[in-house]
Amino acid sequence: MTQTIASLTADSLISNGIDSLYCVPGIQNDHFFNALFDRLDQIAVVHTRHEQGAVYMALGAALATGRPQAFSIVPGPGFLNGCAALCTAYALNAPLFGVIGQIPSGAIGKGLGLLHEIEDQFEILSSLCKHSDRILDGAQAEQQLAGAWRAISSGRPRPAGVEIPVDKWLVETSYQNINLPIAGKPTEINHNHGAQIKIAAQMISEAKHPLVAVGSGAQAHADSVCKLANKIGAGVVAFRTGHGIMDSRNPLSIPMPVGHRLWSECDLIIGLGTRLIAQKNDWGTDDNIKILHIDIDPLVLNKVTSPALGINADLKDALPRLLDSLPPQPEREKWRSTISHTKSEFTAEIESTLKPQLDWLHAIRQALPDDGIFVDELTQIGYVSRFAFPTYQPRTFLSTGYQGTLGYGIATALGAAHARPDVPVVSITGDGGAMFTIAELTTAVHHNIPLNVVVMNDNAFGNVRGIQRDKYEARYIASDLSSPDFVKLAQSMGVSADRATTPAELELKLAKAIANPGPNLIEVPVGEFPSPWKYILMPKLR
């Protein structure tokens, strides 16, 4: 069989552990898909109804598994359709490999008005990826693909994209499959941090009121994080991407509002796999708090304010060494008691102030097993879930991170459900966000993906409307919606669907849906909710 850039690209994906390609085909990539046809016993081609759905599915699969995932879309409008998902993947440190089509190489930049032509596509791709490349030559193609895989597999995981013009797919090349695997190979990014680890251990031992902040970079290191927190008596603060690293039932696991309430007393914050932006920028720092920051990306260590000690290291190397270096710790029972009391106080408070949202979240938590995956959204109970939904295991709470990408939920959850069919996946969404990717329910049906969707329907962009109610004297504008009957809509797509009007009913029907090999949808008619914003936009304390 003739070896071409098309066959090389397909074999590169397979050799680097890609078993599913999320995609929308099109004329600029036809040669590539023809090469994939010969490899369908090695890679599943999961085609979606929209390019954003394809990239979101790859994102959800990556977040749920922690492993690289791949997508393929055509250039121009197809590529732009996927960009919201791609920038979300960049924000979430998701290891995505994108195969992007392009117009004929000789026409790039000439403004000829060819099908799917846009100016500066490669520059846009580069701004949304950690690594990008354009493949034009058969002799260099193998090394270019290897470079993309190395970028994904080393340092901070973020997307990589390769752009391949339509006239280059059938260019002949030469390669051996045995040489293609790159992803997962160990890379040396650390120097000898022995002296820094000793200083870090000393800083921790001298602290009276330590806290640990975790982000997505700590998801693969939950055991070490928990050992550290339990050994030193530090509360572990998680928001959005850090949930599940420490079981919410652990007294030292605390949501962001509790961390904020403890911030004035904290004398050492230990950042692990997080940018620490909320703590350093929003809550504030002063001379009475020290910052110990360990991260694989050296560029995050000095953002906003420099730490007392910044260690550029992989947590898988740094945390075991730090644990081994810690001497017996001073007694911190009083601090542990303060953490526990503050957490209990906060829990009791929101059970009163946010009871409507909590009742729905409690119903979902009761129906979802401990290892089930919960995918939040930019909806009214979604915001509350970020500090009030109990999470018990790593990679079981998926969020948009700082991008706040409305409408990402259904398609992202679909990717998670496809990649993890062994556990239930529940997507919560509002009627506003649901309509962004509702068409992907037909993808779920076509590929028999067991996704469970809960649509909270208030016929509004509920968060926008709530802000207009509370801050602008109910001067409502552009926040009302005419939403469909989601039960009938889902059923028309072949999805099992039902409606729940109370939390108890939702718990019962969601448990039934989870037991169904699905896809399933439950519509929940709701009204106005109390504002959660004082627990999200919290004032500077230092």
Backbone region of residue 474 per phi and psi (left: phi > 0; alpha: psi in -120 to 50; beta: other values): left
The tokens for 380 are 């009214």
State which amino acid sits at residue 226. Answer: C
Query: What's the rounded Cα separation, in Å, for the pair 410 and 516?
Result: 18
pLDDT per residue over 373-388, tens digit each? 999 999 999 999 999 9
Looking at per-residue pLDDT, the higher value among 461 and 185 belongs to: 461
Q: What is the pLDDT of residue 191?
A: 60
Q: Between 51-65 and 440-447, two packed helices, what is the crossing angle to 10 degrees?
A: 60
Q: What is the pLDDT of residue 413?
A: 98
H/E run at residue 535? none
- 517 has pLDDT over 70: yes
pLDDT per residue over 238-293, tens digit each? 999 999 999 999 999 999 999 999 999 999 999 999 999 999 999 999 999 999 99
Determine phi and psi for 204, rounding to 5 degrees: -65, -45
Confidence band of 186 (pLDDT split at 50, 70, 90):
low
Confidence band of 187 (pLDDT split at 50, 70, 90):
low
Mean pLDDT for the chain?
97
- 462 has pLDDT over 70: yes
Q: What dotted CATH number matches 194-343?
A: 3.40.50.1220
Query: What's the rounded Cα separation, in Å, for the pair 480 and 465?
Result: 8
- 171 has pLDDT over 60: yes
Q: What is the pLDDT of residue 1?
A: 73
Query: What's the rounded Cα separation, in Å, for the pair 33 and 24?
Result: 10
Q: CA 54 → CA 25, 51, 169, distances in Å?
A: 10, 5, 21
The angle formed by the CA atoms of residues 447, 449 and 450, to the nearest 5 degrees, is 155
Closest Cα partner for 100 from 161, 26, 178? 161
Query: What's the rounded Cα separation, in Å, for the pair 202 and 200?
Result: 5
Quick check: helix, strand or coil at residue 47? Answer: strand
| Averaged pLDDT for residues 497-507 | 98
pLDDT per residue over 5-33, tens digit each? 999 999 999 999 999 999 999 999 999 99
Q: Are 139 and 173 in contact (CB under 8 A)?
A: yes
Query: What's the rounded Cα separation, in Å, for the pair 381 and 384?
Result: 5
- Beta-bridged to residue 309, according to DSSP, are 292
Confidence band of 42 (pLDDT split at 50, 70, 90):
very high
Query: β-strands 425-430, 397-398: how paired?
Result: unpaired
- If you count DSSP H runs as helices and E runs as strands, how many of each does the chain have, helices first? 20, 18
Q: Name the strands in the sheet holding 290-295, side by side, starting at the edge strand that comes first in the sequence.
A: 253-255, 235-238, 210-214, 268-272, 290-295, 309-312
Residue spans per domain, the chain = 5-179, 194-343, 354-535
Q: Does domain 354-535 have CATH number 3.40.50.12780?
A: no
Q: 0.95 exceeded by the pTM? A: yes
pLDDT per residue over 385-428, tens digit each? 999 999 999 999 999 999 999 999 999 999 999 999 999 999 99
Confidence band of 184 (pLDDT split at 50, 70, 90):
confident
pLDDT per residue over 293-327, tens digit each? 999 999 999 999 999 999 999 999 999 999 999 99
Q: How many CB atoms within 10 Å of residue 312?
A: 20
H/E run at residue 310? strand 309-312
Query: What's the rounded Cα separation, in Å, for the pair 283 and 409?
Result: 29
- 488 has pLDDT over 90: yes
Q: What is the pLDDT of residue 188?
A: 54
Q: What dotted CATH number matches 5-179?
A: 3.40.50.970
Query: What's the rounded Cα separation, in Å, for the pair 364 and 375?
Result: 11
The angle formed by the CA atoms of residues 120, 122 and 127, to the nearest 5 degrees, is 100
Quick check: helix, strand or coil at residue 21? Answer: strand
Q: What is the pLDDT of residue 252?
A: 98
- Do domains 5-179 and 354-535 share one topology? The answer is yes
Q: Are 471 and 492 in contact (CB under 8 A)?
A: no
Contacts (Cβ under 8 Å, ≥6 apart) of 315: 217, 218, 220, 221, 224, 272, 273, 294, 296
Q: Are 36 and 12 in contact (CB under 8 A)?
A: no
